[in-house]
Amino acid sequence: MKRFLSKLCLSGVALMTAASLSSTASAAEELTIAHSTWVGYGPLYIAQEEGFFEDEGLDVKLVIMEDVKTRMPALAAGRIDVAVTTIDTVLGFYTPEHPLSYLFALDDSRGGDGIVANQDIKSVADLKGKNVAFTEGSVSQFFLSVLLKDAGMKLSDINAMNMSAGDAGAAFVAKRVDAAVTWEPWLTRGQDTEHGHLLVDSTKTPGLITDIMVTTNETLEKRRPEMEALYRAWTKAIAWQKENEEAADVIMAKGVGGWLEDPAVFAETRAGIAFYDDAMNKKFMDTSNTDGILGTIANAKELGEEAGLFTIDAEPASLIAADIVK
């Protein structure tokens, strides 16, 4: 009889625990994350598919919003909770009314972006006075601006031609411009021409073109535990991807979709980036490390203000929620 009662009590406890867990899961507030179609965001779909979000008590909704001019205002308006974009892009949408916080890095370009140029252009300094195609207001402009700055030049020293990355690459292949800031497959196509070569690519600038999770300060204060859980789920997804590359490419290609829906294309594109794991994030997001996110923000802030795109009074370190990765 005692044994029966004991079993009955244990069963009751188990039912209560299960009910409690079920209630907690159902009570989780949806966390909406918006991103564009890009290979670097693939691990989010691993976290969803493999249950890492659920393990962390999160109810995550992933939404594709291609235009950053739609994505970032949606974040400010509270229609989404977190947005993914490049570090430099965030500064263009920062306002005192809607301050933003960088949470953690997802990926950076390690050869996926670059400049193809005519054979007679041997250095960035040789771009002076040349017709250079790139997308104005994009990460391509930021990449080019930093390279020009390092060479003691400005955008005004070149003849800027505003085109999409694809059109810029095609224009270079067709000999309509002297150089193009673009990405694959146009980097390969450009350097495969008789007149062209790869002048420089993003392997020379690690951490410069970096995708980042960003939220509003208001959302961060209200939902900080969820942001920490989101980071933990991300690191689990990266660890899983490293151990299961082929299966991961299938999951990520299906999730991200669009022009990356073929796992083979996804894998080829992925070769030009690096996913940020826990160790990389701890180093990159460290506010005492001037070679990490602080350096990228400082570069973007200086160049953006110089070009008259925005003015930000806040110190770069104040924009970083460094405790999230700790």
Looking at the structure, do residues 99 and 232 belong to the same domain, yes or no? Answer: yes
**Residue 58 located in a structural domain:** yes
Which of 170, 204, 238 represents a domain boundary (last residue)?
A: 204
Q: Are 112 and 210 spatial neighbours (Cβ–Cβ below 8 Å)?
A: no
**Residue 13 located in a structural domain:** no
Q: Which of 19-23, 95-99, 283-287 shows the lowest mean pLDDT across its residues?
A: 19-23
Looking at the structure, do residues 98 and 166 belong to the same domain, yes or no? Answer: no
Looking at the structure, do residues 301 and 272 belong to the same domain, yes or no? Answer: yes
Q: Are 213 and 104 spatial neighbours (Cβ–Cβ below 8 Å)?
A: yes
Looking at the structure, do residues 173 and 321 belong to the same domain, yes or no? Answer: no
Domain extent at residue 131: 113-204
Q: Give the integer Cα–Cα distance in Å for 298 and 284.
A: 14
Report whether pLDDT(7) > 80.
Answer: no
**Residue 20 located in a structural domain:** no
The pLDDT assigned to 310 comes to 84
**Residue 15 located in a structural domain:** no
Q: Mean pLDDT across the stretch 280-303?
A: 93
Tokens 């999160």 appear where? Answer: 58
Which of 183, 204, 225 represents a domain boundary (last residue)?
A: 204
Task: Strand 210-216: give its sheet, edge to edge.
Answer: 59-64, 30-35, 82-86, 210-216, 100-109, 273-275
Torsion of CA 80, 85, 91, 94, to 10 degrees: 0
**Residue 137 located in a structural domain:** yes
**Residue 260 located in a structural domain:** yes
Looking at the structure, do residues 75 and 152 belong to the same domain, yes or no? Answer: no
Looking at the structure, do residues 92 and 181 belong to the same domain, yes or no? Answer: no
The pLDDT assigned to 311 comes to 87
Stronger pLDDT, 312 or 239, i.e. the higher one: 239
Looking at the structure, do residues 167 and 300 belong to the same domain, yes or no? Answer: no
Looking at the structure, do residues 217 and 305 belong to the same domain, yes or no? Answer: yes
Query: 273 forms bridges with which residues in the sheet?
Result: 109
Looking at the structure, do residues 217 and 142 belong to the same domain, yes or no? Answer: no
- Average pLDDT across the chain, whole number: 91
The pLDDT assigned to 19 comes to 46
Looking at the structure, do residues 169 and 253 belong to the same domain, yes or no? Answer: no
The pLDDT assigned to 27 comes to 60
The pLDDT assigned to 314 comes to 87
CATH code, domain carrying 178:
3.40.190.10
Q: How many domains does the chain have?
A: 2
The pLDDT assigned to 71 comes to 96
**Residue 269 located in a structural domain:** yes
Which of 204, 219, 243 represents a domain boundary (last residue)?
A: 204
Looking at the structure, do residues 218 and 307 belong to the same domain, yes or no? Answer: yes
CA of 209: how far to CAs of 89, 174, 201, in Å?
A: 10, 27, 11
pTM for this predicted structure: 0.85
The phi, psi pair for 38, rounded to 5°, reads -150, 145
Task: Write the CB contacts of 249 (distance below 8 Å, at least 6 apart in sequence).
Answer: 42, 263, 266, 267, 270
